[in-house]
Homo-oligomer: A and B are copies of this chain.
Amino acid sequence: MTKETSSKTRKPKRGQTREALMAAALDLVVKKAPFSSLSLREVTKRAGVVPTAFYRHFPDMSALGLTLLDESFRTLRQMMRQVRQDQVPGENMLRGSVETYFNYVRENRAHFLFVAKELFGGTPTMRNAIRREIRMFTNELAMDMARFPFLNHFSSEDLQMMAALVVNNVTALTQEMLELEENDEFGQQQVLVAAEKQLRLVFLGVTQWKSSPVTT
């Protein structure tokens, strides 16, 4: 054979470059800057490839961003589904859900940080994608609530409002948790306890709620 398999290994990389790019971007978001201010060259450098290799996998940075967003939400949705079906509507249902959720946040810190930063800092396209996803969660929660006997007499608007209230708070608490150092177990525990209390208070409010007739 005329040519030997060159030993200097100029291009032995496999199809894993795409994932390397995504991992590099996520990494930079976590420890450096919001996604919108990452440069293509920066990402490729960290991924260990030459800048032009980027175009073999994504047309531009914003495409990478959307892919990352998709990845983040796919795993999140799958967790939510599991939380919901593991649920035995018992006494400490709330505590269990809260714990499961926040454990998941801790285990997927990078993805949550990415989403949190893009929620306001990102491009309109990205912001809309995220908001749509959150709205979906709110709707699902409202439907779940409607299945409980002591809740199903509420109008769907009221249920929607209550679900939004819960989601708003969980979102805020998630952001609070993300601001803590990764190893600050005490702080994280505190957030968890606060979350449980706040949600319990909300549900107390729900039990007292009386839908008011149409107001302007």
Using CB atoms and an 8 Å cutoff, list the residues of chain A in contact with chain B. Answer: 33-34, 36-37, 116-117, 119-121, 127, 131, 158, 161-162, 164-165, 168-169, 171-173, 175, 179, 193-194, 197-198, 201-209, 215
- Identify the interface centre among A158, A173, A179: most chain B CB within 10 Å of its CB: A179
- Please give me the residue from chain B that is nearest to A33 by CB atom: B36
Nearest chain B CB to A102 CB, angstrom units: 15
Contact (Cβ within 8 A) B169 A165: yes
Give the residues in chain B near A165, CB-CB below 8 Å.
169, 198, 201-202
Main SS at interface, chain A: helix
Give the residues in chain B near A207, CB-CB below 8 Å.
208
Contact (Cβ within 8 A) A168 B164: no
Give the residues in chain B near A209, CB-CB below 8 Å.
201, 204
Give the residues in chain B near A179, CB-CB below 8 Å.
127, 131
Q: How far apart sit A131 and B180, CA to CA, in the bound complex (Å)?
A: 12
Give the residues in chain B near A164, CB-CB below 8 Å.
194, 198
In addition to A34-B34, A201-B205, 16 A-B residue pairs with Cβ atoms within 8 Å of each other are A120-B120, A121-B121, A161-B198, A162-B201, A164-B198, A165-B198, A168-B172, A168-B173, A169-B169, A172-B172, A202-B202, A203-B205, A204-B204, A204-B208, A204-B209, A205-B205
Contact (Cβ within 8 A) B127 A121: no
Nearest chain B CB to A5 CB, angstrom units: 41
